[in-house]
Structure 1
Amino acid sequence: MKIVIFTDTYLPQINGVSKTLNLLTNYLEKSGIDYLIVVPHDDKLSMNSPNIFPIKSIPFKLYPDCKIALPNLKRLKKRLIEFNPDLVHIATPFSIGLCGLSLSKKLGIPIVGSFHTNFHSYLQYYKLEFLRDIIWRYLKWFHQSFQKTFVPSKDTLEELKEKNFRHLSIWTHGVDCDLFHPIEDVSSIRSKYKITSKYILSFVSRMAPEKDLETLALIIQNTKLRYGDDVTWILAGDGPKKNELMKKTGESNIIYTGFLEKEALTEIYSISNLMIFPSSTETFGNVVLESMACGTPVICANSGGVRTIVRDYSTGILCEPKNVSSFCQAIDDCLTKPIFLEAMSKKARAYATTQNWDTIFHQLISEYLEVVDQNIETVHLTPISN
């Protein structure tokens, strides 16, 4: 089987979509499945791989970390015909995704897609709510040609069903529990970050408006008043709102690490008593599962895909979105009850170990094959003559 993936975000961009697609391509390579991935060009990523087809792109003014691709359709069409794929997977609904949709339809290649991001939920954070109906109409149109649309959680599936999306299938996400695991002796990590406080709370995410950073800032301010020097916050990640968040939270008992690689992230999760994640816009929430794999329960918003990961007051705590008091009460419930927190930590890790990426990707490939089998009569493409 030969697969082409179209995406408007990929490494070195760091977000849930880019990380998931990188894991998928690693799995395809390991499994001997031939693939081509069409991505925005980036000087930080080696574009010499025969599996990568880079597209010239420019930063998106509203969201500079994202890029708008400027594809050469003739060149891209030629490469598709040469590759002769059995299936196209479109991961994003922007310019590269649109090119993938248009060319795949013209060339008669079976198409599947995935729905990773609640773009409609982001609008309120950018004062663009008037575009909500337009966004929904566009997304429904974009996905209507897919023989399957993969969604990361039951919550997202139900939401799209209500909007009359068709051919929905759950493609959940997993975690590498060999990489993300509890570290028993964290004294050296405490020394590394010069932490002497009794408790450590963390937040791991891109620092962008849709992550409910306003709520996070208020939670931090409240815990400072409640616990004083007994609590240190570690905020890991980067993004357009980092400097603004730093101004709101101050510098005392707060460590901003910037972007961290996987091993360093494991240290942050493991050293933390709790991970606090107020974002209410997640279709899944990869960082929630990573934290749980390290034995660190998560206090998060009772909204979106995280509700399918966290069992309330068992593997973590679900709070009313944007309700600072709800989050602060949950923090108190955990920090003042060490036996309860330890039990929740063990349950969080136990659940994470059941979410194996290889099993998840194996199921995805099975669904790819179902679509390919349904299109056996599709005529294979022939190379363009010079």
Structure 2
Amino acid sequence: MTNAAPGATTPDTTGTGTGTNAQTNDGKRDYLPAERQNMILNLLTRQSVATVAELATLLNTTEITVRRDLTALSNAGLIKRVRGGAMSVGDAAEKGAAVPAIANTSFSERTPAGAIAIKPATRTVELGLDQPAIGVMLPEPSFFWPGVIEHMRTYASRLGLRIVTRETAYDIDAHEDEILDDLASDPTVCGVIAAPSSHPAYGRKAWRWIERSDTPVVVIERDLPMLGECFVDSVRTNHPYGVRKAAAHFIKHGHKLIGAAFNDSPTSSMIQEGWRDVVDSTDAFSCPFIFDGIQPYDTKGVNAIVDKIIMSGVTAMLVHSDYLAIAIAQALERRGHRVPEDLSMISIDGFATPSSRPLTVLRSSDKDLAEVALSTLLYRIQNPDAATRHTLVDPNLIDRGSVVDVR
């Protein structure tokens, strides 16, 4: 329940007024609905955007009353509702060109970068403050995230937007709720793209913040909590389709016996589930073993994988991630087995291998993920009541010659 704004009307005990026109102790009075709505329209002729909180203070009423007024004006076609406030119809028509629909399926082609032209000014209440911005909270720099951020900056600049970034961490409590608070407190930030921690305890803070926030949020490369009450838009790599590409590539080269090994990561469960679905749904090949939870620095675990590869007679391996694939390849070489002469291999990630050894890879498209995440967020800003969207972007299979023909 929304609390009354400061200065809200108290019951009249002086006999000077009753009902909705009662005067408050600070000299203000409650306005009739028609008066409030007229004041909202007048304000939106002077500034293109107003927030619910700003209007509640101006009109000396509660935020829930303001929302009712905005709904009435929006239904009449006089304003455009946005998350957390409203914008004038004229500004929406001039600045808010249609955003292309984003389907709840895979993106195999890149979303056209020039297809969006809006002024996402949900939070930019006072005109002329700064260029509107998108807040981005992603894990500490790694081989993947810097590319995503760079593509976001490029795409956003074409739309007249800035990108404001904050770093978090994988394995420590980075106080993500405080990071998100900091981003949202910037009056020029009109939406947030975030990758909450996958740690059960640390990530909970971010999800609670997202659930409570009026700021539009798109989650990138993360699944929503299974039984949580937080339902927001998400954009992720379509790993189940990616592993299908890997399986098809192996089969194309005659491989019938394929092993798999996966380490722990925020995306590993999705990759494993996709691979198990492929294995269970076909008789074109068999998978005699699947290792999971093995880290590349776990020498004992890596050697156990190599032992199984040699004893089972598999001709190919699907491995997540790059570093685990490299560790396995190095351990195999120490045992007299080489990739791809003795074992074909596809690695999932595809960012570390070019500088070390040429492995065929499934690589998430940092460019497509960046553009689709921004497109999704801008659509949400313009359409706050639209159904939640969960978009999957197909990874690319990059053939670097580590899968050989065994037919």
For the superposition of Structure 1 and Structure 2, which TM-score range results when normalised by the shorter chain? Answer: 0.3 to 0.5
Which structure shows the higher helix fraction? 1
Structure label with greater radius of gyration: 2
